[in-house]
Structure 1
Amino acid sequence: MPSASSAVNRLIQQFDLRPHPEGGYYRETYRCEERVQRLQSGRERSASTAIYYLLSGDAYSAWHRIRSDELWHFYAGCPLGIHVLDDAGQLRTLRLGNALEEPDTVFQAVVPARCWFAAERIDRQSYSFVGCTVAPGFEFSEFELADTAELQMQYPQHAKLIGRLGRAADSSHV
């Protein structure tokens, strides 16, 4: 069985993955040609998009949110914990993994639009290779990386987890 680092290198090369701003590696694999219009903003966008996404080493998916539902799909490696915070401050952790081998996991998990979320591997010595499908389609203009301190003040009951998976805010806002 190949080591985690050789498997990670193979995945990066085979699927032409690039660094993602929230952590890990990714590549967009699909962008629907059909366009839809957002009711609130009137902006047009692709009806759907999809990516490959890889977490390994020290990488995690930092707290962020987008304006669309995001469906995560498990492909290979170890299970992934996807932490989701709703507007009321309720935290739930979805466990994405091989549901045939890990009974407490699911092959697919949905993160609702506008919820803050972050993801990390359950086994820090392994990797997680997953996919994400977004509808209406993902646009970086609707991606917001959380300001860790602000999120901790908004949800103090989850400050430790937010701090562990946080990064400084960038200029992209939902």
Structure 2
Amino acid sequence: MLRFLSACLLPGCLLVAGLLPSATARPSASVSPTDAAAPLPAAAQALIKRYKMQRVPVEGGWFAQLQRTAETIPGSALPERYDGITHPLSTAILFVETRRDFSALHKLKTAEVWHFYSGDPVHLLLLHPDGIAEEIVLDRDHPAYVVPENVWQGSAPVGPGGWSFVGTTMAPGFIPEDFHPGERKALSQRYPAFRKQITALTRTKDQPR
């Protein structure tokens, strides 16, 4: 998720999520193709209105910021991958994605903790730096998952409703410089066995964002 400011929704959620091993979320069969022409479901519209959500640029989806700490961490105290840039301690968002407003493939410099709340299961495609790819499902039975830093991630709801309501957590908090969008051609060449899923989770200029 372009986590235009993502972090912990509830005190202690980082601790709870940290106790969940990667096997807690079951692998999915595949990330289903997204539907750029699908209408915005009424339930998603209601959430967007209730939380005064805004569109997430480039990545897609809708977000409402819950937290962006005033306290910061100096860049000199962070790992080298942060390029010496000061970050907030944490950031938090709520996020709605639909078949049309899916989360396009991208990677972040900080591990991102996903929290599932309601709607259809969320299928995540994860493309690791070592060439390994995997698919994960988030739902009521598997409500949290940690996407490691520098792993390509993209997701879409899969189910009859056509929408999912989630939140994400990042610490140090998100800043735009930490976001890197995925390119369809380059990722398809790197992970050829997942070409279909990569196509479904990347955008071209004629697709809505």
Choose from 113, 117, 121 the match for 1:71: 113
Question: Which of 40, 50, 54 in structure 2 is aligned with 1:14?
Answer: 50
Q: Which moved more, 1:143-152 or 1:122-131?
A: 122-131
2:167 to 131, 135, 145: 131
Shift of 1:55: 1.0
User: What do the CA deviations read for 1:42-66 (whole angstroms, capped 9, x no partner)?
Assistant: 2110111111110124221111001
Alignment RMSD (CA, Å): 1.7
Aligned counterparts of 2:105 and 2:85: Cα–Cα separation in 1: 25
- TM-score of the pair, normalised by structure 2: 0.72
Match of 1:103 in 2: none
| C-alpha displacement of 1:39 | 2.8
SS at match of 1:30: strand
Q: Deviations over 1:71-122 (max 9, x none)?
A: 00011111101111111121122211111xxxxxx11111000100100112
| Distance apart, 1:124 and its partner CA | 5.5
**Structure 2, unpaired ranges of 5+:** 1-39
Q: In the alignment, residue 89 of structure 1 is paired with which amino acid?
A: G
Q: Which has the higher contact order (CA 8 A, sep 6+)?
A: 2
Q: Distance in 2 between the 1:82 and 1:15 partners?
A: 24
Between the aligned residues of both structures, percent identity stands at 30
* CA distance 1:57–1:159, change in 2 (3 Å): closer
Residue among 20, 31, 39 paired with 2:79: 39
Distance 1:30 1:61 in 2: 21
Ranges in structure 1 where 5+ consecutive residues have no aligned partner = 100-105, 170-174
1:29 and 2:66 are equivalent in the alignment: yes
Q: How many residues align?
A: 160
142, 145, 148: which one pairs with 2:178? 142
Partner of 1:93, secondary structure, is strand
Instruction: Note the 1:1-174 alignment, pairs <5 A.
Output: 5-21=41-57, 22-36=59-73, 37=75, 38-40=78-80, 41-99=83-141, 106-123=142-159, 125-168=161-204
Runs of 4+ in 1 over 4 A off after TM superposition: none
